[in-house]
Structure formats: C-alpha cells, structure tokens
Amino acid sequence: MEFMKTKKIISYTLAVMLLATASSCDLTEVPVDTATNEAVFGSESGLELYVGSFYNLLPDTDVGVFQIDDNSDLVARNGVDDYLAVNALSPITSTGWNWVQLRNINYFIENAEKSTIPTKNHYLGTARFFRALFYFDKVKRFGDVPWIDKTIDVKDEATLYGTRMSRYEVMEKVLADLNYAIENISLTSDASVTRITKNVARAYKTRIALFEASWRKYHTEDNKQSTANVWYEEVIKEANAITGYTLHTSVPDRAYREMFITKTAYTDETILSVALNASLQVYSSANRRFISPTYGNRPSLTRRFVNTYLNLDGTPFTSKAGYETTPFVEEVKNRDLRLKQTIRTGDYTRTENGTPVIAPPNFSQTYTGYQPIKWSYDERFPFDDESRNDNAHIVMRWGEVLLNKAEALAELDRMTATEWTNTIGALRKRAGITGATLTTVPTTADPYMVSFFANKFSNPVLLEVLRERGTEMIFEGLRPDDLRRWKLGNLFQNAPLNGMYVPGLGEYDLNADGKNDVYFYQGTKPTSSTAGIAFVDVSPSTAVGRIQLSKGTSGELIWNPGQREWADKKYLYPIPEADRTRNPALGQNPGW
C-alpha cells in the first residue's frame, strides 16, 4: 500500500478501530486500551494499519524537503526566517516539544510485543525505525531530551517530571532502534518505493550516523571527538549493505532533473518517496514555492555556490582567469550538467497550456538570476498559481547514500581510487563530467573550496566530497543540518547573498536568443522597446528588500533580505518556556 494511500485510509480508520490518541503535548495524556485492542493487535492487517499511521512522521509534501534549504548559505530568499532574524527566536517563540507521535509508537510497541501474530517483528521493526526518526529530530532540535520507551501512566510522576537524558546517550538508543529495524523488517525493497524496508532503514542510518559522527567530531566542547569514528564506520558498513540501487542515468543532460519531476519515482535510484496523486487531491506546492513571486520564498542560488559547479572537463570553474567577471550567458556554458538541470540557463523553455515558451531567468521571481527549476514542472498552468504538483516527493535516494559513504571515508582517511570511482566519480560521470576527476583521488585542496568553508577544512578529498554534496543534494533539505553538524553556523549569517555579474547598467540578454530580458537601472525607471523585459532598480540603498551592485554601477548582484543573526546557542533550539513551566526539571539549553 503506497504511503499516500495509507495516509488517506489511516485518517479515518484508526479513529474507529484504535485508541484515541492524545492531541496535546502534555505527557500525561496517554492512549488507553479499548475493546478494539484485540482487533488491532490480534491480526496482521491490524498491525499493518496501525503502523501506517507512523508515516506521518515523514516530511510534509506541501512545503516539502525542497524548501528546507531556503534557510542556508546557498540560497538567497525573500525575508529572513525567525531562526536567523534578530531576536526572533526565544524560549517564548520556540516550538517542537511535542510527544504525541512517540506515545503512539510506544503504545504500539508495548502491545505488539504481546501479540501472537508470527510476523509481528516486522511491524515492531517498522515502529522502532519511526521511533529512531522521532528521536533523531528531537535531538537535532533540542540536544538533551527525555528518553521514553514506554506508554506513560498518569501516575508516573518520575517520568512525567523527570530530567533530560544526554543527547549522546539518546543517540546510542536511536542506533539500537535502527539496528533492530534493519534486523527485523522483512521487506528488503519495495516496488512503489513508498514503504519502510530494510534498505530504507539502512539508508536513513547512513544519514543519521553521519550527522552524529560529525557532531561529535566538530562540537569539541563536549569532548566526544574520540567517539566520532565509530559512527563514521557505521555509515560505511550500512552503505555497503544496501543492495539493488544504482544512479538514474537515462539521458545525461536530463537524467538528474527527471527524478524530481516524475509522477512515479524512478526505482533505480529512489529508496523512499511519498507518492502524490491528483485524483485523490494529494499534492505538493513545489512550483508555487519556487516560482510564485508572492506565495513562496522566491529562493535563488547564490553565485558563491554556483561557482562550485565544475567545468565539464572536471576542472574547477574558479581556476579560470577572470571567472569573477564572467557574465551569466558565458559562465553557465560547459559546466556540470546538473547546473542546467537545477537552474534556468540558455536553452531552458517552459510551456503555457502546452505551448513552448523560451524562459530565461525571470527577475520578477529571482533575486540573483540563478532561478531554480529542480522539483518544478515546466508547464505554467495551473502549477505556478495553485498547489497542484503531483510529482513524486523523494525523501531518500542512492545518490545521498554514496555521498554519506564518501564523506565517512574521507573523514577516516580511507578513500581509495576504487571507492572514489564508485561514489564521487559515479555522480560526476552522471553529470557529464569527464577527465581524471572521475577516477583519481584528489591530492591538492582547491583554494576556492577552502575559502568556501571558511577555512574549516583543508583535506582535499573531504573538500571535493563536500563540493559534490552541495551540487548533488541542493534543495533536498540537508544543507541546514550539514552546517550545524560541521559547526559552521556562522555561514548562515556571513555567506554573501550574491548573484550574477553585471558589467554595467543597461539591458541584457540572458539566454543569447537575441532578445533582452532584464534592464538594470538606477534612479528613474527607463523605458525599453523590448516587450516583457524585467526592470531591476539597483540604486544605492541600505533598505531591506533591495538589490545592489557590488561595485556601484557594476559587479555582482547583492540581495538584502534583512539582517541575519547567528549565535552559537542556535545550534540548539531553546526549550519552550511553557514546557519548562510545567516541568522545571527540564532546564534550558546553553545561552537561552
């Protein structure tokens, strides 16, 4: 049963068959046994139905994983999120201390363990997989949290009003849940790539173990560096255990983007997805989030990031003399094919009611000129104006597993030519890149990448792995967590929100079709003979919501969304004040 369909069924069936699940975040509100207990835990269909309710822990499809990277160092966006806005995040405004799903999972585990159904361990494995996901998200957000692995009785004050457990102890328990899931889930893979399988649990383990390894290595204030390598080893072990997947290749100049605009996920690379369906009105809002000038964040890639895309011959774009002043039309030529499959470049076209329309970067929708197309349908109607996207929502794929493994190998200084070829080399080959970079482990650090990561890393292998992670996984929701685990939170504030290079004021043709597309001006708005041209005022200003040129009347576009503020206390959210009031023993995270 596909997750999308499961969610529809669960929404009303559980209300009839199962316990009443608490709707508040108060830990005293717990599920209670009903006369339907035997009907649920006494049949495999009942176990399967209950487990289906846990799928709500997967990313919401409306906002999707595709919007998470809007709050990172790689994307210029409309406004500043409360996470980074000055004085916006506080114990009063903090949210997320909600334990409803955990109670639901624990109740299932307690009762399923007593079930006589022979296949119960499969469903217990699935439940413990979701408990691992639940706790991983809580640890990422709050650090130390209470570990609760049972349904809490209303009289159990020791648990209800207890203290938090060390995040490091909690993560050991998360690892145990993941290992149990891998051992006991009976389904290795799933043709619909919408159900939790052994391979899904293994893939998620590579993601979770990599986060934990990096956190232990780079957050040195906790003195856990000596335990990091064990977690890197777990990444490699589990990546090696996954079978049955390869990179989706089809046609190189569109294979990468195809994965994100197909209605049925490609099973060669996709490990887990959420299936959407127009007939059941289960949609995402991808087009509106990326393209609408008013509905979404108008996310645009920064030039600082676009510079990291390699040339097709495998050399760094930034190794070319004069790259800093290369205009848009020229800089996107002969680059890693993922660039033209991620943003609008010279030969990109859309359709309007099926009619092809040339579509250069649209400055009524982009701040930097690097306008995304990943996840978005090329057809304008109705997708740009309504939340009607029904393309598969990918939440885990083989490409990420390869990157997770490559990073762990680089951190352990165990990257071989074979491993490089099978991970980074394979991803670059799919992107049309040629040359020694496909098979040769790098030995010299690229100065641009050293600077890109604020001199945090000097290992040439690791730097190239991280370059690849950015270009391969952009808009898949991993970047903010990456910055936090590497302890590079300062990039949230300090990374420049820069755009394409503009040689001077005036009109420009952004796709070399002979028609000017944008007019950069200062002062009074000029007129143009070109129909539909976008006018961009780059007059000197310190006002929020304005675009400037870095050198006054020329240079890179610089977008000002408002003041961004970073403080190291933001590596963890504050415990919400209302919850601390109910339980003072929770304490508060450092700095809050």
Residue 15 pLDDT: 36
In angstroms, the Cα distances linking 502 to 288, 358, 549 are 28, 22, 8
User: Which element (helix H / strand E) includes 547?
Assistant: strand 546-549
The reported pLDDT for the residue numbered 291 is: 94
Prediction pTM value: 0.95
- SS3 percent helix, strand, coil of the chain, rounded to 5, is 40, 10, 50
Which of these, 175, 171, 180, 193, lies nearest to 126 by C-alpha position?
180
pLDDT in tens, 361-404: 999 999 999 999 999 999 999 999 999 999 999 999 999 999 99
Nearest to 40 by CA among 59, 69, 68, 16: 16
Q: What is the DSSP letter of 119?
A: T
Q: Which of 138, 17, 70, 66 lies closest to 579 in space, CA to CA?
A: 138
Q: What is the pLDDT of residue 17?
A: 43
> The sheet that has 518-521: what strands, in order across it?
506-508, 518-521, 534-537
Q: Cα(277)–Cα(220) distance, rounded to whole angstroms? A: 46
Low-confidence ranges of the chain (pLDDT < 50): 1, 4-6, 8-25, 28-35
* Closest to 305 measured CA to CA, from 330, 342, 334, 333: 342
Angle between helices 228-241 and 198-218 in degrees, nearest 10 = 160
Question: What is d(CA 291, CA 366) in angstroms, rounded to the nearest whole number?
Answer: 8
